[in-house]
Amino acid sequence: MNRMKFSETLLKGFAFAVFLGSCNNEQPIIPVETTSVNATDQNAKINAVLKLYKYGNDAIQYVKSGKFMGQVSRVSNASKYQKYTYNDNNGTTNLFITSSSYLQSTNAKFFESVYEISNGRCIANKESNGATYDYKYNVLGQLEEVFMVYQGFWLKSTYSYIFNAATNAYRLDKIVAVNQSGPVRETKFTYTAIPKKYQLNPDNVDTDLLLPFFGTFSDVLIKDVEVKSLAGAQSTEFREYNYIIDNAGHISSRTEVYHPLGKASNSSLSTTLIDYKYTQYWQGL
């Protein structure tokens, strides 16, 4: 699914990091406010809070009722769909969220992630391919470290933030990744002045896009993201973003221009347009 953080995307980045290293020797759960509705009207079992229901080619549905009302339940497009299930009756005090991915053509499951949530933060993720992620947070509840292990290799990503006094908010500044061989890469973020009205996780970090359990990354929208190899200090890829904002201040569409050869190169550019659609009358399962 488009940028829904299927793990093959993450593992490509991990493989890239291992390659570079070898040459050198990617919010707490709070029940949302609801309006009083007629329980006999199934179509009225909705949340008055605005929800993103279309992200590019992906259709998003949410849990319609119960303690997890308003949390994502399904993401689908023409080729794949992803189902989320929530389990807090597991013999522990933690919440476990299972994200299962299927092919539309056969309904065959091809991937699964299990996220463990403690005190409103994701602390671990285990994937069906054997990869594991451990998450650590600073005293402000911001994601500080992601430690990934896959097939005997490990990759540690350290997140650092800058404080913007004008808006009294912290913003993710950079992510530095190291592995067994030493420093691998640095991912640097710069920002627009456009307020971030709808909270999605950045699609440049090692989290699920929609799950709100990884802390807050910024108060404004990302302008560009540059990845540099720490093995040679050269820019290895660069992404720049432009937005169309609707009258309510939400993203209507986002255009990404991808420079696969780095910031200074305009060779082999590709452009991706993602439309965003919202509703207060969101569908669910």
SS3 label, residue 170? strand
* One pLDDT digit (tens) per residue for the chain, 285 residues: 433 544 444 444 444 444 344 444 333 333 333 333 333 344 444 447 899 999 999 999 999 999 999 999 999 999 999 999 999 998 889 999 999 999 999 999 999 999 999 999 999 999 999 999 999 999 999 999 999 999 999 999 999 999 999 999 999 999 999 999 999 999 999 999 999 999 999 989 999 999 999 999 999 999 999 999 987 766 689 999 999 999 999 999 999 999 998 888 889 999 999 999 999 988 776
- CA 151 – CA 272 distance, rounded (Å): 33
Q: How far is CA 269 from the centre of its chain?
A: 24
Report which DSSP code applies to 107: -
7-279, which class in CATH?
mainly beta
Q: List, for residues 165-214, the tens digit of each pLDDT value.
A: 999 999 999 999 999 999 999 999 999 999 999 999 998 999 999 999 99
Q: How far is CA 107 from CA 54, 100, 104, 139, in A?
A: 22, 11, 5, 43
Residue 285: per-residue pLDDT:
66
User: Domain limits of the chain?
Assistant: 7-279
Q: How far is CA 175 from the centre of its chain?
A: 14
Q: How far is CA 132 from the centre of its chain?
A: 16
